[in-house]
Each structure stands twice: as structure tokens, then as C-alpha cells.
Structure 1
Amino acid sequence: MPNNDFRRLRGSRSPAEFAAAVRRAAREIGEQVACDARYIGRVEAGEIRCPNYAYERVFLYMFPGLTLADLGFSARETVRGRGARTTTTHSDSDEESDVLRRAFMTSGTTTVAAVSLGLGAAPSASGAADAFGVSGTSGMSDMPAVAHRRLGEAEVKAVEDAVRQIRLLDDRHGADGLYKRAAQPLRTAYALLEASTTSRRSMADRLHAGAGELALSVGWLAHDSGRFDDARSHYAEALATARVAGDPALEAHAFSNSAFLARDTGRPREAVRAAQAGQRAAQHVASPRLLSLLTLREAGGWAGLGDRTGCEQALGRAKSLFERGTAQADPEWMSFFGEAELEGLEAQCWSALGDWSRAARHARRATALQDPHFTRNLALYNAELADDLARAGAPDEAAAVGQDVLDLLEEVQSSRIQTMLTATTRVLLPHRRSPSVAPFLTRHASAGTSRGV
């Protein structure tokens, strides 16, 4: 059925003109969409019943006060969940997709978020196993045993949707409450990869890419929650999957995350090497933004080594690549990489080099540019800003920003951000008698006690 509501919103603009307006709006909120006239045509024809999350954020930004229903779209749960079933024939495959997509959502703020997305409560791990024909585990790997089966669209789409859901929940709530819940869909994805008997190369490639991206998403949850050894293992798993599949985009992503982890764990030279390896892989992907991010990872490594010249050169290359704009080949996972992230990563470089005032300027820009939807990143940039201000000799302002971070941490669970804020409090201790600093230190101490820190 044609989407006449969306067509009316386009007005007198051509599909190409409207697509350009969508891309402009995306840039304004730091989102990445490769919208063109063909995409607009598919929406208006009713082929796209519900946009992905990136497009949803852009459309709601363009038309404030309207809902997806007002834009002519169907509710997400009727497209992707149980409500989408129309025949008994599709029931089993839809059930499998539903289970894998939701297997990690079982408690706390995660369940609240899942319900708000129309996904409901998740089944038990055993229920997920039964749905995929899992009869137990196989050896020390704890990999579910899945009967050999012909791979279908439902299984592949379930893996891809699980990746998107994990990223969405991490954007809003941070990693700490998600990591353990994400392990089951990851194990199931690799079990499917092992058990698949499909002869369709395109389907197998999608499953390899989906499983690899899922490993990276779970690895990031481990990384952000301070489980660095687990993160390294998941990143290595994704890299191996990329190389087996001959997937340069997945390989570049794996090296990007590995470089980030190396920098965070005090191995800056490894960070440089991993970032450079990622850039070599990314040469096969027509995405300047992907190369920009990898070059920023390299800059972070040089900063960690105290090499100001190397860092500045890498930052210059990264900015030039970023200014080339978005491209059709930009990976979906890079939706977070807008101007705010560019500024945030540069702030981290100057911070590592001890140029606190300069770091604070970039961190402040990052917080100003960040789309509030990315709650975790907003908390991260503010934590960076608070620390830079404290070290730059602005304790009162640092404490005020720190209060903002504590507000955000009521919604976000991220050990990484908590660790950053704790380091800031140590810098501010000499100013604990200040009427501006004291309330922040007291509140932070109280919050740490309530979390069991």
C-alpha cells in the first residue's frame, strides 16, 4: 500500500531534492544515512513499512511533533516482531528471528528499553536454544549444537537485527547491563554459521558479516564495561571471521575496535599498528568516513606514545577525509560517527598529550554537537570535558559538568565512564572545600557506594 502521508510531506520537492534534505538533516544531528531518490520512492511506494533506527531519528528530527504513524509508517513490532506474522507457514521462522533478536534482553533497564521498543520480555536461554534446535553445548567453547540446516532469510535477518538492537540499547543505556545478555545470540549466530548448508553465496556472506558484527558489538560491550580480555577475544573472533569471508569492511571494523582497545589498555604502539592495518583493509571500501575514523584511531595511538607530530599529522588526514562527506558504502555501524565523535576523539588525543585546555575546547564542542539520543556518548563527552577542565585548572566548572555526568549515569551503565569520573574526583580533591566542588564530590561518593563501588 502506498505511503501517501509521507508523499504529502515531500510536497512539491522532487524525490532527489527531498533526499538531499534528508541527508542535510542527518548531518545536523550527527547521523549517517545514504538517502537518495530511489529510497524515497521505495518509502512512498510502501516497500519500506518502517525505517531503520538511523532514518527514524532523522525523520522525527525533520518533522518535530510527528510520530512514525503520522509519517505513514507501520509500528516496528508489526514489521519485525510477532505482529508481522500473517500465515502459519511463516510462524516457525518468525519465532526464530524473534527469539534471537530478543535473547539478551531479560532484566533491569534493558527490559524496560525492550518493552518500550515493542519487543516485550525475552524468553529464557533454554527457550532460545529450543527454538534453534539446540540440544546442549559442544566442548569448551560453549557453542550451542545446532542441527545442520539450510540457511534462510529469517535466520540471517535475526542475526542482523540482534546487532542493531544491541547497538540501540548501548546508545541509550551503556554496556554494563547488556554484556552477559548478549552472549547467547552471539553463540547462536556462530552455531548457525557452522551448521549452515546453504549454497547461496550472498546469504552465506550476510551471515558471516552479521556474525562478525555481532562479535564486535558484544566485544564493545565487554570493552565498555571493563572486561578487556573478553573484548580482545571477541575482536579477534570477528577479525578471523572477516578474513575467512574475505570481507574488508568487517576487517576494517575489527581493526578499528582493536586499535581503540589497545589505546585504552596502555598499548599505544599496538593501537597505531592496528589502525594502520584497518586503513589498508578500508582501501577496498569506498568510504572516506571509515578511513577518517581509522586515522583518528591512529592519531590516538600516536598521542599515547607522546608523538605530537605524528598525532597532528594523523588528525589532519582524518579531518580531510571526514570533510569528503558520507558515501553509499559507509558501514551501518558508523551511524555514531558524526562531528561530535570527531571532536570527542580529538579531545582525547590532546588530553593524552597533556594539552588540557585544548582538549577541553574540543570536548565542549563534542557535547554541544551530540544528538541527545546517544545518551552514552553524551555522558562520555561530558566526562572527558569534566576531566580536562579539572586538569586545566577550572575546578568549579569541572564539578558542574561532573554533576551533569552523574545525572546521565542514572540512565547509562558504563564502567568506562564511571572510571573516568572517579579519576576526575581525585584531581578535584584539593578543592574539596570549595562550595562548588564539595557537593559534586559528596554526590559522587554516595553514588559509588550505592553501586557497590
Structure 2
Amino acid sequence: MVSTRAVPNLVFRQLRGPRSAGEFAAAVRRAAREIGEQVACDARYIGRVESGEIRCPNYAYERVFLHMFPGASLADLGFSARESVRGRGARETAGTAGTAECPTVPAGRAPGPTAPLSPPLSLSLPPAHSPPPTLHSDIDEESDVLRRVFMTSGTTTVAAASLGLGRTHASAAPISLPAQRRVGEAEVSAVEKAVRQIRLLDDRHGGDGLYRRAAQPLRAAYALLDAGSTARRATADRLHAGAGELAISVGWLAHDSGRFEDARSHYAEALATARLAGDSALEAHAFCNASFLARDTGRPREAVRAAEAGQRAARALGSPRLLALLALREAGGRAGLGDRTGCDRAIGRARAAFERGPAAADPEWMTFFRDAELELLEAQCWSTLGDWSRAARHGRRAVALQDAHFTRNLALYRAQLTGDLARWGLADEAAATGHQVLDLLDRVQSSRIRGMLAGAARVLEPRSGAAGVAAFLARHADRGTRA
């Protein structure tokens, strides 16, 4: 008699480590691109492998997995031999890009251990004093349990989103999920609240202190997606959008804190979620951030392509401001390519779209995109092209127009202006502006901003004989030593 119970692939679960199923799926897709394969891997596929539903991957996935884990065999990765599963009910599904599913277990094979019961899966940020997780820490097993929670039977609880900073602790009433794991309004609202609060904290404090803590609600959101059914299509659409926006928000925290590969993975996960859900607004947002990251990491051609793809996704959304921002992302990429004409044209399109004003369809996440941000992004384009005087003029406008509500941007705009003034040769004004950035760095934790200011300081070093410049350099150096 053949057992119909799938045997969980605990080895594969262990290999995934602290990453969420979505994050690991993004790593699989990235590895596939490295060897010229195309696999439509997503969090659900990873879940099916780990649950034992897929006992042996198809040949494309096999090549990708063996590329990811050099020297390993399929057996080392917890899979059954291909000979043992061929012809035993393997079937093709569109959602797994031709993956052979082998849901049965051969006769006589003992079922593997069941996943342990899990503690509540939380959409809250852990307390600020909690040590940040690492890839090889004692919390790996706990993280794996958190990811498995929706694959176990019984009632699971999810804490409503409650994000804190400093000494604020997460505090929220638990929301019970029934045994059938049906996701409803309370859970979706918790995800949406997590997105808003992460953005609020980033606006005030920057990404360095938030990134590790924000990974927990992101894992919870994708666990909700993996959980299964929702009562209504509208609820499912909101959950996909919320999880994707949360991935982008956490990706931005990684971006701002200099964790570029993590950011790339989160943005890719958001894009995959958008494509699966057919969500053009989420797709445009993911491409917007991917373009920004590509520009910052020296891949200007990719920045242009991503911005153009974002513009295609955004055309039918009815938001001129979104199109303006995407055009500025394109301009930044073209500046990186040294294409002054193309950059100028993209800026012209951006300004024309921006002047059409706000619209009801403007995404919630675009609250930062105001006149000051428009000036800053144009300043960055001219700075990249080496037109320091033009960059500084736009940078001054950005500083004059900025909204004090966005504390991180108070430092960001001044850091950009400090560098442009220094390169233009206005050392005294650059030093004075640099002091203003230093005044803000106790409240703003951003590797990106610190890097910009350090670059300006290097430019100013030859002018250290000037009293104002010397004072700024000394203060900057002292802060670097204390950091």
C-alpha cells in the first residue's frame, strides 16, 4: 500500500536559513539568471518543496539548485532520486513553470518529523534593544518555525502591526486565524498598517536602525500570502498589494543602509508579487525603486530600463506625479550613461507631468514627492554629469523648499548640496552646509547620507587651510571616530 502523505524536506528548509520563502525564491531566480535558466520560482514553489509535495525538481530547477550549492547532489538537498519518482504522478502546473510534482511517498518510507508547533507570528517590530538577527545565529531555528506556522494545523495568532522605535515595545491584541487559515480584514489591515508605520519611521530616522527589525513583519506578511484562501477577491488583492509594498519598504531600508543585495532581492520579490497579482501600481513602484537602486550601484543602463518599464506599467493609472518620478529615475540613469541630451529630455517630461498637479490616483507612498524632491533629483542628475554649478542651484532650491516633516530628507538634501558646493569650489558654503548635516545625524541613521557627506569631506580636504573648512573636517572626523 502506498502512503499518500508527503514527507517534509527538512534539509531544504534548513538550507533556506533565516530568509523568508519569498526572499529565497528571489535568490533562486537570481541564480537562474546567472546560468541562463528561466524559472518562475515564487514563495509557493518553495513551500511545496519544503512540504514534500515536490519530491524531485525538474531539470531546470535541478541545474539552478546545484549552481546555488556547489558540490551538492539532489540527495544532499533533501530530494528523492529522479528514478524513484518518474512516472509516479508527476504533473506539470503553470504556477511552477513545468516543475514535476511528486506528492506521494513510496511504500515503506517512514514519514518525516512533523513541524513543531509555532509561537504566534507577529507583524510587529521587535523591541529596539533586541539584537539584530544574523545569517548564522541561534535564532535561525526560531525564524524557520515562524515561517512554518501557517503550514501547521490548528489555530494561529497574528499580532496586529505595531511598530516602535527606541524604548517603545510592540503592543497589540492578537488576531486569531481559524484552522482553515482564512485571511480576513484584520490581517490585511495589519499588513497595511505595518507599511505605513515603517515609512513614517524611515522619514524620521533613516534606514540603518530599522532594517533588521522590519524583516519580521515582512516574513509575517508573506506567511499570510502563503497561508491560502481569503474570503473575498478584494481582500486577496489588498493582501498582495500590502505584502508587495512591505517588501519595497523593507527593501528601501536595506538600500538606505547600504545592504544593496538585500534591497535588490526585496525589490525583485515585490515585482514578482505584482506580476502574480496583476497589480500595475505595485509593479510601477517596484520598478521605480529598482531603477533607483541600479543608479546608486553603478548600473545606469539597468536604471534606464527599469524606469522605462515602470512608466509603461504606470501609464494607465492616472497619476501624472508617478510618471514624473519615473521619468526622473530614467533621467538619473541617462546621466549615469553620460547622455546629457537624453537626461535633459527626461527631466523635461518629468517637469511637464509634475506641473499637471496631484491626482486622486497618486499612490499613498508618494507623499515625499513634492517640489523639493523634484529639485533634489534634478540636482543629482546634473551632479552625475559633472555640472556642479547647476546641481548646486537645484540643491539650494531643494533645501529651501523641503518639508521639515521628513527629517531624513533634511539631512539628505543638505548632504547632496554639500558635495555639489564642494566640487563647484564654494568651500566655505559647503562646510557650513556640512555642519547642518552633522547636526542632524544624531537623529538620522542612514549609511547613504553618511557616505555622501564623507565624499564631500574628501573633496574639501585640499582646502583644509581655511578655518571654516578645517572646523567641519575636524568635526566630521571626530564623529567618524566615535561611530
Same fold at TM > 0.5? yes
Identity of aligned residues (%): 70
Cα distance between partner residues in 2 of 1:105 and 1:399: 37
Match among 439, 444, 447 for residue 479 of structure 2: 447
The one-letter code sitting in structure 2 at the alignment partner of 1:179 is Y
Q: Does 1:414 align with 2:446?
A: yes
The one-letter code sitting in structure 1 at the alignment partner of 2:332 is G
- 2:393 aligns with 361
SS at the partner of 1:219?
helix
Cα distance between partner residues in 2 of 1:104 and 1:368: 37
Cα distance between partner residues in 2 of 1:360 and 1:203: 47
Q: Deviations over 1:330-368 (max 9, x none)?
A: 000000000000000000000000000100010111111
Q: Does 1:121 align with 2:153?
A: no
Q: Deviations over 1:85-112 (max 9, x none)?
A: xxxxxxxxxxx99x52x3245249xxxx
The one-letter code sitting in structure 2 at the alignment partner of 1:182 is A
Residues 326/104 of structure 1: CA separation in 2 closer, same or farther (3 Å cut): farther
Residues 190/147 of structure 1: CA separation in 2 closer, same or farther (3 Å cut): farther
Q: Deviations over 1:292-329 (max 9, x none)?
A: 00000000000000100000000000000000011111
- 1:274 aligns with 306
Cα distance between partner residues in 2 of 1:115 and 1:365: 32
Q: What are the equivalent positions in structure 2 for 1:278-317 lying under 5 Å apart?
A: 278-317=310-349
Scaled by the length of structure 1, the TM-score of the pair is 0.71
The one-letter code sitting in structure 1 at the alignment partner of 2:170 is A
The one-letter code sitting in structure 1 at the alignment partner of 2:169 is A
Q: Does 1:106 align with 2:128?
A: yes
Structure that is richer in helix per residue = 1
Cα distance between partner residues in 2 of 1:318 and 1:260: 15
List structure 1 segments (4+ residues) > 6 angstroms apart after TM superposition. 130-133
Cα distance between partner residues in 2 of 1:132 and 1:221: 30
Cα distance between partner residues in 2 of 1:132 and 1:291: 41
Q: Deviations over 1:163-190 (max 9, x none)?
A: 0000000000000000000000000000
User: How many residues are paired up?
Assistant: 333
Contact 1:399 1:437 in 2 (8 A): yes
Residues 148/350 of structure 1: CA separation in 2 closer, same or farther (3 Å cut): farther
- 1:214 aligns with 246
The one-letter code sitting in structure 1 at the alignment partner of 2:201 is L
- 2:271 aligns with 239
Q: What are the equivalent positions in structure 2 for 1:5-404 lying under 5 Å apart?
A: 100=123, 102-107=124-129, 114=164, 120-122=168-170, 148-404=180-436
Structure with higher RCO (Cα < 8 A, 6+ apart):
1
SS at the partner of 1:150?
coil
TM-superposed deviation, 1:282: 0.2
Cα distance between partner residues in 1 of 2:127 and 2:383: 36
Residues 148/437 of structure 1: CA separation in 2 closer, same or farther (3 Å cut): farther
Unaligned runs of 5+ in 1: 1-95, 134-145
Unaligned runs of 5+ in 2: 1-119, 131-162
SS at the partner of 2:301?
helix
- 1:3 aligns with none
Scaled by the length of structure 2, the TM-score of the pair is 0.66
Contact 1:147 1:195 in 2 (8 A): no
In our comparison, the structure showing a higher alpha carbon Rg is 2
- 2:159 aligns with none
- 2:33 aligns with none
TM-superposed deviation, 1:382: 0.2
